């Protein structure tokens, strides 16, 4: 069921707290409880290592990263903030498909360079 006006939501800020990207590694930002789905409503990132594209997505059951957002650019030496109106309304949810092609639904970020500090705020439905 999609997110709809008036739906009861739980707003969660920084589920995993402030995280720092690693070069090409999957960094967990939000651990999605079983039976819930979530959408990102705010992203805060700070980069002092250059202008770095941030890729948001989840992992397949085979631990392969799947990008679900267009890349967002964390600008060098500036606090980059994206609010709900700036972000695509993509629902992260646990996929119960068995096998390697199913996905875990947890929210991850990837960056080509290590050292970008990032935290997110989500709305969860249950």
Give the distance between the most distant pair of CA atoms in the chain.
43
Domain span at 42: 9-125
What is the pLDDT averaged over residues 21-31? 93
Give the residues across from 45 on adjacent strands. 80, 118
Percentage of the chain modeled with pLDDT above 90? 58
Give the number of domains in the chain: 1
Q: Is residue 72 part of a domain?
A: yes
Give first-to-last CA distance, the chain, whole Å: 10
Q: Is 74's pLDDT higher than 70?
A: yes
Write the CATH number for 23: 2.60.120
Q: Is residue 3 part of a domain?
A: no
Q: Is residue 40 part of a domain?
A: yes
pTM comes to 0.87
What is the pLDDT averaged over residues 15-36? 88
Give the residues across from 99 on adjacent strands. none
Q: Is residue 2 part of a domain?
A: no
Binned at pLDDT 50, 70 and 90, residue 100 comes out as confident
Q: Is 61's pLDDT higher than 80?
A: yes
Q: Is residue 98 part of a domain?
A: yes
Token pair for residue 22? Answer: 């690693």
Q: Is residue 42 part of a domain?
A: yes
Higher-confidence residue of 117 and 16: namely 117
Are 7 and 123 in contact by the 8 Å Cβ rule? The answer is no
Q: Is residue 1 part of a domain?
A: no
Nearest-angstrom CA–CA distance, 65 and 123:
22
Reported as a single tens digit per residue, the pLDDT across 106-125 is: 999 999 999 999 999 998 88
Reported as a single tens digit per residue, the pLDDT across 1-10 is: 566 666 666 6
Average pLDDT, the chain: 87
Q: Is residue 45 part of a domain?
A: yes
């Amino acid at each position: 069921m999609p997110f709809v006006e008036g739906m009861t939501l739980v707003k969660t800020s920084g589920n995993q707290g402030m995280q720092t990207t690693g070069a090409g590694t999957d960094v967990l930002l939000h651990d999605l409880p079983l039976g819930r789905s979530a959408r990102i409503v705010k992203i805060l990132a700070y980069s002092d290592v250059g202008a770095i594209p941030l890729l948001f997505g989840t992992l397949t059951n085979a631990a392969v990263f799947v990008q679900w957002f267009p890349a967002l650019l964390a600008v060098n030496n500036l606090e980059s903030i994206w609010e709900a109106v700036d972000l695509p309304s993509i629902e992260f949810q646990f996929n119960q498909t068995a096998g390697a092609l199913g996905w875990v639904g947890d929210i991850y970020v990837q960056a080509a360079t290590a050292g970008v500090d990032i935290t997110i705020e989500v709305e969860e439905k249950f």
